[in-house]
Amino acid sequence: MKKLLNNPWVVGVLALAAVAFVAHSLIPAGGSPGVSEVAEDAGNGELPGGESSGTTADAGSVRDAIKELSGNPAATRDPFSSRAKAVAVSATPAEKVPAPDVVETVRLTALWTQNGGTYALINERICRVGDKLGRITIETATQDGVWVTHWKGRDFIALGAAFTLTTPALKAAALSLSTDS
């Protein structure tokens, strides 16, 4: 291979073949080389066929050429344009999605007695008897824990324990309506 590349005749033939391939790729596929030729005459402003170059004819051909080059504007996407938001349409609008349940968690962290009253640290908030935490009311507090009342009844929360009250959405709505009036 090294001997072939050192031979000037072989290198010349390869260079001519490369020039031929480049020229072939630049010729349009229509086969008519006269269509892509551009005649320039800086002196008189006339085209080779005896036609004068008018601005109206040139403007029309320039517009046509730009339209042809641009192709289908919908096929190209502008990355900086805002995107159209898709509107989600439910397949069954008559069917309602049930609302999520209301979940309240109460964690008793500390208990202490001060000036004759018992205080509790619940959910990092200082509370005493009668305070409400959402739908949970503190009924009594002792040194062992706290008794709370809610719509389901009454529960004891020991020191360091947690209590979770799950209220169905329909029941929560009914409870909130009954307490508002």
3-state secondary structure of 103: strand
Q: DSSP string spanning 62-102?
A: HHHHHHHHH--TTTS--TTSPPPPPPP--S-TTSPPPPPPE
User: Pairing mode, if any, of strands 102-114 and 153-158?
Assistant: unpaired
Task: Output the pLDDT for position 146.
Answer: 94
Could you read off the pLDDT tens digit of each residue along the chain, which spans 181 residues? 778 888 999 999 999 999 999 988 888 765 555 544 444 444 444 545 555 555 555 667 887 877 777 666 555 677 777 777 777 665 555 566 667 778 889 999 999 998 888 899 999 999 999 999 888 999 999 889 999 999 889 999 999 999 998 888 776 666 666 665 4
Ordered structural domains, the chain, with CATH: 102-167 (2.30.30)
